[in-house]
């Protein structure tokens, strides 16, 4: 990764931490959980029995890989498979294997804010798929998307797996999809994973495992601030709390200060006051149903052209294209 790119990411991290911890109520962006330690913790989360999302989406991809690959390769001689938030690529490799069987003329472009995740992914792909053309890009989604060729002759399929869109509020998701749509040609596609509404207890269990892995994952935000911004957060002074509203379908994660305390962040020349039981909002995990998705997609100028579900209807993947007209 180029030094100026790293500097920009670090500067944005510092800016966002300052903004989030001086706001009322306090908040931190969940994307900053992911560094070397955060990546490892999330891999542990994906293997927890309570965290159903990974297995559900894996089942969808395995059971429908031929049909999905056919749709991706439809009406094009050249394909860019662009993944936002690529992580370790466990699920994507199912599609990569199928696409290689059906067409040699495609390129995989993983985008992630975590340089560690991209390095690990590139290394594993070089062993498992030695002939695959891989172009990793570290940075924010839209900055990196601007660097990818976009034309009528080269089809871009944008992968947004793992219900990552659920990390956005409804209005943020509309803005995000609208921005994607604005750069799409008529033949381009978005392949998005969306966790579905279900028994509220099942959802709470997925984000509040008894082993405390999810707690450690969320607290990695504080660990990063300590490490990279020379802060003195005491992690044991905060507890992890999960809530879920079955009406709106919104799950939220918080770090809650157990005591009155002051935290110094030397790199920001900032002292942050916490009252006992004051919260830092760290993550949102929106759950959907078909009605919510339909409204979201329509508002963004897109349309659903195909959808796939696991057997329990816990999770769905949708293929979205630019809307031909607005009703």
- Condensed to tens digits (0 to 9), the pLDDT of residues 57-69 reads 999 999 999 999 9
What's the confidence (pLDDT) of residue 250?
95
What's the confidence (pLDDT) of residue 6?
60
CA 147 to chain centre: 20
Return the closest-CA partner of residue 123 out of 113, 134, 114, 112: 134
Distances (CA, A) of 311 to 15, 58, 65, 126: 43, 12, 15, 33
What's the confidence (pLDDT) of residue 253?
96
If pLDDT is split at 50, 70 and 90, which confidence band does 18 have? Answer: very high
Distances (CA, A) of 140 to 12, 35, 312: 10, 14, 34
In this prediction, residues 250-265 reach a mean pLDDT of: 97
The pLDDT tens digits of the residues spanning 81-118 come to 999 988 888 899 999 999 999 987 899 999 887 788 88
In this prediction, residues 33-54 reach a mean pLDDT of: 91
pTM above 0.85, yes or no: yes
The pLDDT tens digits of the residues spanning 270-321 come to 999 999 999 999 999 999 999 999 999 999 999 999 999 999 999 999 999 9
Evaluate if residue 326 carries a pLDDT over 70: no
Residue 314 burial by Cβ neighbours in a 10 Å radius (0-12, 13-18, 19+) = buried
Are the C-beta atoms of residues 312 and 282 closer than 8 Å to each other?
no
Distances (CA, A) of 14 to 10, 41, 68, 279: 6, 23, 40, 20
Percentage of the chain exceeding pLDDT 90: 75
- Cross-strand partners of 192: 160, 318
What's the confidence (pLDDT) of residue 29?
94
Which SS3 state, helix, strand or coil, does residue 124 take?
A: helix
Average model confidence (pLDDT) for the chain? Answer: 92
CATH 3.40.50.150 domain range(s) in the chain: 53-196+290-322
What's the confidence (pLDDT) of residue 325?
64
What's the confidence (pLDDT) of residue 149?
67
Percentage of the chain exceeding pLDDT 70: 96
**Other Cβ atoms within 10 Å of 46 Cβ, number:** 18
Backbone angles phi and psi of 108, in degrees to 5: -105, 125
In this prediction, residues 127-142 reach a mean pLDDT of: 87
Evaluate if residue 191 carries a pLDDT over 70: yes
Q: Which two tokens stand for residue 224?
A: 């990063």
One CATH from 3.10.20.30, 3.40.50.720, 3.40.1190.20, 3.40.50.150 for 53-196+290-322: 3.40.50.150
Angle at 27 between CA 26 and CA 31, to 5 degrees: 165
Residue, of 40 and 140, whose pLDDT is higher: 40
Return the closest-CA partner of residue 37 out of 222, 182, 209: 222
Nearest-10 crossing angle of helices 36-46, 213-229: 170
What's the confidence (pLDDT) of residue 1?
46
Angle at 289 between CA 287 and CA 294, to 5 degrees: 115
């Amino acid at each position: 990764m180029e030094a100026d790119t790293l500097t920009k990411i670090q500067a944005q991290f510092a800016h966002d931490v300052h903004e989030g911890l001086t706001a009322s109520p306090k908040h931190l962006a969940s994307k900053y959980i992911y560094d070397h330690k955060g990546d490892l913790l999330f891999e542990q989360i994906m293997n927890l029995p309570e965290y159903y999302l990974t297995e559900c989406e894996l089942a969808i991809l395995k059971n429908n890989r031929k049909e999905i690959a056919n749709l991706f390769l439809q009406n094009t001689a050249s394909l860019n498979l662009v993944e936002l938030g690529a992580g370790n690529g466990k699920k994507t490799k199912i599609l990569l294997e199928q696409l290689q069987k059906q067409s040699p003329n495609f390129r995989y472009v993983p985008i992630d804010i975590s340089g560690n995740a991209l390095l690990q992914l590139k290394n594993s792909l070089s062993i498992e798929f030695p002939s695959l053309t891989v172009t990793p890009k570290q940075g924010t989604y839209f900055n990196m998307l601007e660097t990818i060729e976009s034309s009528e002759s080269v089809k871009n399929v944008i992968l947004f797996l793992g219900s990552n869109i659920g990390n956005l509020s409804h209005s943020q998701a509309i803005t995000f999809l609208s921005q994607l749509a604005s750069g799409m040609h008529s033949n381009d596609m978005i392949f998005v994973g969306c966790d579905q509404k279900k028994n509220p207890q099942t959802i709470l269990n997925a984000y509040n495992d008894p082993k405390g892995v999810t707690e450690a994952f969320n607290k990695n935000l504080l660990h990063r601030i300590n490490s990279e911004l020379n802060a003195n957060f005491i992690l044991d002074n905060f507890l992890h709390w999960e809530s879920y509203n079955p009406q709106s379908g919104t799950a939220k994660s918080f770090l809650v200060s157990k005591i009155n305390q002051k935290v110094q962040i030397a790199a920001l020349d900032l002292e942050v006051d916490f009252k006992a039981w004051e919260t830092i909002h760290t993550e949102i995990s929106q759950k959907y149903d078909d009605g919510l998705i339909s409204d979201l997609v329509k508002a963004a100028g897109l349309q659903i052209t195909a959808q796939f579900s696991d057997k329990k209807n816990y999770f769905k993947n949708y293929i979205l294209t630019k809307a031909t007209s607005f009703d």
